[in-house]
Amino acid sequence: MALKDKILSETMKLSQNPAVAKLLADERFMRLVVLAMSMPGRVSTFTTEQKEKFAKEMGLATSDEVRDLKRQLAALEDVVRRVERKL
């Protein structure tokens, strides 16, 4: 039996338990479940914001800024090559 099938069958067994059904019907518990599921995204967003804030305070470039600058530099180098060919 695959792990997914095992988890599904155990979940079905649990949902038939009256205590679990009562817990799932509780609005406060469901809000907590939704909050817990959103935590990884919230933590990721928070750490990204803090990283960018720290880099700005320290006068450092972030990896996104470096990537953008490299793209701009490559575009400018292409323009220079085209201009040199015309001369």
Domain boundaries, the chain: 3-86
Which has the closest alpha carbon to 24: 16, 41, 40, 62? 16
42-82 tens-digit pLDDT: 999 999 999 999 999 999 998 889 999 999 999 999 999 99
pTM for the model stands at: 0.50
CB contact at 8 A, 29 and 23: yes
